[in-house]
Structures are given as structure tokens and as C-alpha cells.
């Protein structure tokens, strides 16, 4: 698969996802992704997008101002 920005090769990697919900910042570390070996652009598969959205939805109504979790420690 090629990068949509620079046409470089996408390789397996991990990234940190930052989501600002207004009242809470959710930071998910070590999220599996495809990463361009030239420009660093990251792409999530559909399965990963759904899991990240599920994690964010679980934390959306938390009383925390900042939530930092590892992807592998998914919220139950």
C-alpha cells in the first residue's frame, strides 16, 4: 500500500492518538497503524478506527481532564 501524500511505502508501526473532547483530552499511546517510511503519515485500518472510537466513547463522560492510556490496556 502506498502513502496518499507522497507515494512512499506504508509499513506496520505504532503512533500516539490525541483527541480533544473539549472538557477532556484523550491520549492513546501505542496505537497500531501503517506509517509512511518517507513522510511519516499514519493510517489506521477500519478495525483500529472502531477500537479507538470505542475507547474515546468510554472516556468521553469521565471526570478526568486528561486521560492517558496504552492501546493494549483497552478500557473495558
Please give the pLDDT value at position 40: 94
**Mean of the per-residue pLDDT values of the chain:** 91
Task: Tell whether the model's pLDDT for residue 76 goes beyond 60.
Answer: no
- Taking only the tens place, the pLDDT of each residue in 14-28 is 999 999 988 889 999
Domain-located, residue 2:
no
Domain-located, residue 36:
yes
Task: Tell whether the model's pLDDT for residue 6 goes beyond 90.
Answer: yes
CA dihedral 28, 52, 74, 19 (to 10 degrees): 30
Please give the pLDDT value at position 19: 94
What's the number of domains the chain is made of? 1
62: containing domain: 10-73
Tell which phi-psi region holds residue 48, choosing left (phi > 0), alpha (psi between -120 and 50) or beta.
Answer: alpha
In this prediction the pTM is 0.85
Amino acid at each position: 500500500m502506498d502513502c496518499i501524500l507522497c507515494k512512499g511505502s506504508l509499513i506496520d508501526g505504532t503512533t500516539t492518538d490525541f483527541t480533544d473532547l473539549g472538557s477532556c483530552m484523550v491520549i492513546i499511546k501505542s496505537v497500531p497503524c501503517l506509517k509512511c517510511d518517507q513522510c511519516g503519515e499514519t493510517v489506521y485500518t477500519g478495525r483500529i478506527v472502531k477500537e479507538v472510537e470505542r475507547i474515546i466513547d468510554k472516556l468521553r463522560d469521565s471526570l478526568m481532564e486528561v486521560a492517558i492510556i496504552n492501546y493494549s490496556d483497552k478500557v473495558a
